[in-house]
């Protein structure tokens, strides 16, 4: 039986509440993978050391291991929905971890990585609960709103974590900027804890990894996630350091990632949603990969031909990190939803996200090594080739429309 909220809680309130949590999770990601590498590079840390930050993605890569346990705790066979408890505990750990990382300062990189890994574990656990709650609390006809909140929240949070955070660091310093962002996370999570209703239900179905991995759609989705994420995100870890080494200040990079990235990313996400509704995910995925290969090729040329203007570099950075990423990932998430079993969408979607995080982590490690030893030009050139090769690969993997799984477990044409 699908979960429903109290009649006083309408779909808009639900979307706003879960959207706030999606923004909060992406603020953490923006600080970790966009803001922190730029700050550390300005402090003079070597590129191969910065690549260790990609290890913070490990909890996101492995969260499928504890997703079934979280779901069984969150949705007991009989009793109250415990989504609020998961969010409260996980959110509290995230805020506390950020505060500690702020007071530690930049002089102890291993301790910062350790604290942010704990924060990532808590945020990844919250994400399992939020995805499941959104699917259950909203009627299926309105699941698109949850997807819009997820994608839009991701780019808004990334822009704030990678943009606003850098501006705060530039003016206030690390030790003041990080606790301020932690307080911001509290404000983003409050509507979910205080406005959502968590009803009591009987729940006969028990979600499991075994049921997910038996389905060919899940295996196809995992392959698609691996190929697409490697091609799209492979160069992102080194984009911030490239901008720093090009002479752009943290304030300028913050404005590029923040104001410009936010506005362009949201427009691109809306455009991606419209294109997916009209054309389906497959052509949008192919288009985004082709555009990303062009952007990555430009970054390579910029390193080999340093006379190119910085304003052009900033424009390509916004296009690559915001517009193209938003366009493509709206289509990717839409395809993930089509491959997911509605009876355990949280676990299926978690599997896809774990593959995303695992490939991002490995790509970050390789990015730091290649850039440090062979230069930005070689690294971004290789990344451009990977993105170009992914175009026909994704076209073949996605193929036609998958079958939809009904509440009874039967498959019917989508």
CATH number at residue 265: 1.20.1250.20
154-189 in b/e form (b: 16+ CB < 10 A) is bbbbbbbbbbbbbbbbbeeebeebbbebbebbeebb
Domain count, the chain: 2
Tokens of 241: 């350091």
What's the angle, vertex CA 362, arms to CA 46 and CA 368, rounded to 5? Answer: 20
Residue 92 and residue 310: Cα distance in Å, rounded?
A: 41
Residues 270 and 327 occupy one common structural domain? yes
362 shares its domain with 226: yes
Determine, yes or no, domain membership for 330.
yes
- Interatomic CA distance for residues 237 and 240, integer angstroms: 7
Residue 148 within any structural domain of the chain: yes
As a whole number of Å, the end-to-end CA separation of the chain is 22
Q: Do the domain assignments include residue 406?
A: no
Q: Which of 173, 198, 223 is the last residue of a domain?
A: 198
327 in a structural domain: yes
pLDDT at 141: 56
Kindly state whether residues 188 and 54 are assigned to the same domain: yes
CA-to-CA distance for 370 and 385, rounded, in angstroms?
Answer: 15
Q: What is the mean pLDDT of each run of 10 residues along the chain (414 residues)?
A: 50 85 90 82 76 80 89 83 91 93 81 90 92 73 66 80 84 89 92 81 77 89 93 83 83 74 82 82 93 93 86 88 86 82 77 86 81 87 93 88 48 47
Question: pLDDT value at position 342?
Answer: 67
Residue 236: which of 327, 330, 355, 361 has the closest Cα? 361
Question: Is residue 203 situated within a structural domain?
Answer: no
pLDDT at 297: 93
Pair 124, 226 in one domain: no
Both 190 and 220 in one domain: the answer is: no
Where helices occur in 138-173 by DSSP H, the ranges are 143-159, 165-172
Tell me which of 179, 198, 217 is where a domain ends.
Answer: 198
Domain that holds residue 329: 208-400
Do residues 375 and 317 share a domain? yes
| Same domain flag for 149 and 111 | yes
C-beta atoms surrounding 92 within 10 Å: 13
Do 226 and 158 fall into the same domain?
no
In this structure, the answer to whether residues 219 and 341 fall within a common structural domain is yes
Asked if the structure places residue 414 within a domain, the reply is no
Within a domain: residue 411?
no
Residues 41, 63, single domain; the answer is: yes
Q: Please report the pLDDT score of residue 406 as a whole number.
A: 45
**212 belongs to a structural domain:** yes
Q: Which pLDDT value is given to residue 371?
A: 82
Give the C-alpha separation, 336 to 351, whole Å: 10
Beta carbons of 181 and 97 less than 8 angstroms apart: no
Closest CA to 63 of 130, 150, 14: 130
230 and 346 inside one domain: yes
């Amino acid at each position: 039986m699908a979960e429903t909220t109290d009649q006083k809680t309408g779909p808009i309130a639900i979307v706003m509440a879960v959207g706030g949590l999606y923004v909060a999770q992406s603020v953490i990601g923006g600080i970790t993978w966009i803001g922190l590498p730029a700050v550390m590079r300005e402090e003079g840390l070597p590129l191969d050391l910065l690549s260790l930050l990609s290890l913070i993605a490990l909890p996101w890569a492995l969260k499928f291991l504890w997703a079934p346990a979280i779901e069984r705790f969150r949705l007991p066979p009989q009793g109250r929905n415990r989504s609020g408890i998961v969010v409260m505990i996980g959110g509290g750990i995230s805020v506390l971890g950020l505060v500690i990382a702020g007071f530690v300062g930049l002089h102890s990189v291993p301790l910062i990585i350790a604290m942010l890994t704990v924060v990532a574990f808590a945020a990844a656990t919250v994400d399992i609960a939020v995805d499941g709650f959104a699917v259950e609390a909203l009627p299926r006809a309105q699941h698109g709103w949850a997807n819009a909140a997820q994608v839009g929240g991701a780019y808004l949070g990334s822009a704030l974590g990678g943009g606003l955070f850098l501006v705060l660091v530039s003016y206030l310093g690390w030790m003041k900027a990080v606790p301020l962002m932690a307080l911001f996370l509290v404000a983003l999570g409050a509507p979910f804890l205080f406005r959502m209703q968590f009803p009591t239900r009987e729940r006969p179905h028990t979600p499991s990894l075994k049921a997910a991995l038996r389905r060919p759609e899940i295996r196809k989705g995992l392959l698609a996630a691996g190929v697409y994420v490697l091609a799209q995100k492979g160069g992102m870890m080194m984009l911030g350091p490239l901008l720093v080494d090009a002479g752009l200040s943290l304030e300028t990079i913050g404005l590029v990632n923040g104001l410009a990235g936010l506005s362009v990313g949201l427009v691109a996400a809306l455009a991606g949603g419209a294109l997916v509704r009209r054309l389906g995910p497959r052509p949008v995925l192919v288009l985004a990969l082709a555009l990303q290969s062009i952007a990555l090729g430009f970054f390579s040329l910029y390193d080999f031909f340093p006379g190119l203007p910085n304003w052009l570099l900033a424009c390509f950075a916004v296009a690559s990190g915001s517009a193209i990423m938003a366009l493509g990932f709206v289509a990717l998430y839409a395809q993930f939803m089509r491959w997911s079993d509605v009876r355990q969408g949280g676990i299926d979607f978690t599997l896809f996200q774990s593959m995303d995080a695992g490939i991002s982590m490995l790509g970050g490690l390789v990015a730091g090594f290649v850039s440090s030893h062979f230069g930005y030009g070689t690294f971004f050139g290789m990344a451009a080739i990977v993105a170009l090769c992914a175009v026909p690969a994704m076209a073949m993997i996605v193929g036609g429309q998958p079958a939809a799984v009904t509440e009874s477990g039967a498959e019917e044409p989508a």
